[in-house]
């Protein structure tokens, strides 16, 4: 019950425990909120509690300038709400920095902490049962992927897609089943689905008409699992391309 309470009401405590353990003394920037007490280090807050900090970032021209400001403050870690929660981060330049130049390291149900810098290949963190949109930091992308918002018929109105063979996503979770949500369309290719090193399927995502939020469920034994979904070079002869996409995952 204590853990349930913390997950719902004080997720910043878990973030603080992670930072105090893994990066003791490292300054932190809070993109939303002002829960400073969770950290045994200097904390910068994006809000009226530290109005000077907020205004300095608000005047920045772009994400690169904000990265430079934080670097001068010796801040290399940002805590932010997970995408899809309806929370808008301002200024826009800070939002761009978080979306494009922060590599997630650890997450709770609502928050994640990541290191500022060029996105690099990484292993995904293990998540508990729940729903995870394609923009969720729990999903690790490798290769060439496009991440777009504004697709009203997609889960959470976002979609991530690639047509480069060998590009893959890695998703680690604890549960008994995994549901993969994707889009079938005239330009879709084939997805190689491997879980715990065992090939589960070669999914043909081609369809003569668009079918949003198509889903395939894989029943698994209880425990920790790793799913890897990759773009295959082959495709349906009727398809115009070999795109595959990730719309969301559901874990039970």
Residue 169: pLDDT over 90: yes
Q: Does residue 229 lie in a domain region?
A: yes
> Of 224 and 119, which is predicted with more confidence?
224
Report strand pairing: 28-30 vs 77-81: parallel
Both tokens of 136, joined, read: 């969720």
Same domain, yes or no: 53 and 13: yes
Grouping H, G, I as helix, E, B as strand and the rest as coil, residue 98 is helix
Instruction: Tell me the pLDDT band of 41, cut-offs 50, 70 and 90.
Output: very high
Same domain, yes or no: 87 and 47: yes
Q: How far apart are CA 10 and CA 232, in angstroms?
A: 42
Same domain, yes or no: 110 and 135: no
Same domain, yes or no: 171 and 232: yes
Q: What is the pLDDT of residues 149-163, one digit of tens each?
A: 889 999 999 999 999
Q: Does residue 122 lie in a domain region?
A: no
Q: Does residue 121 lie in a domain region?
A: no
Dihedral, CA of residue 106, residue 109, residue 110 and residue 112, to nearest 10: 10
Same domain, yes or no: 83 and 166: no
Same domain, yes or no: 208 and 147: yes
Q: Does residue 124 lie in a domain region?
A: no
Mean pLDDT of 55-66: 91
Q: Does residue 123 lie in a domain region?
A: no
Same domain, yes or no: 72 and 102: yes
Q: What is the pLDDT of residues 68-127, one digit of tens each?
A: 999 989 999 999 998 766 788 999 999 989 888 888 888 887 888 988 985 556 678 899
58, 91, 116 — which closes off a domain? 116
Q: How far apart are CA 87 and CA 85, in angstroms?
A: 6
Name the domain count of the chain.
2
Q: Which domain holds residue 16?
A: 2-116
Mean pLDDT of the chain: 90
First CA to last CA distance, the chain:
20
């Amino acid at each position: 019950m204590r853990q349930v309470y913390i997950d719902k009401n004080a997720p910043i405590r878990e973030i603080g425990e992670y930072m105090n353990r893994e990066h003791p003394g490292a300054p932190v920037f809070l993109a939303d909120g002002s829960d400073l007490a969770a950290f045994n280090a200097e904390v910068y807050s994006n809000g009226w509690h530290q109005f000077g900090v907020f205004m300095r970032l608000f005047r920045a021209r772009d994400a690169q300038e904000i990265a430079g400001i934080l670097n001068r403050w010796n801040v290399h870690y940002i805590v932010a709400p997970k995408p899809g929660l309806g929370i808008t981060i301002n200024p826009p330049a800070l939002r761009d920095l978080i979306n494009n130049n922060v590599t997630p390291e650890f997450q709770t149900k609502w928050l994640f902490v990541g290191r500022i810098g060029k996105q690099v290949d990484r292993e995904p963190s293990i998540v508990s049962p729940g729903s995870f949109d394609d923009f969720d930091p729990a999903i690790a992308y490798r290769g060439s992927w496009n991440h777009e918002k504004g697709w009203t018929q997609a889960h959470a109105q976002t979609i991530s897609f690639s047509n480069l063979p060998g590009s893959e996503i890695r998703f680690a979770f604890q549960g008994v089943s995994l549901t993969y949500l994707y889009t079938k369309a005239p330009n879709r290719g084939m997805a190689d689905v491997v879980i715990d090193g065992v090939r589960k399927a070669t999914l043909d995502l081609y369809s003569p008409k668009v079918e949003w939020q198509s889903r395939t469920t894989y029943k698994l034994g209880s425990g920790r699992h790793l799913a890897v979904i990759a773009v295959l070079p082959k495709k349906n002869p009727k398809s115009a391309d070999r795109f595959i996409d990730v719309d969301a995952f559901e874990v039970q």
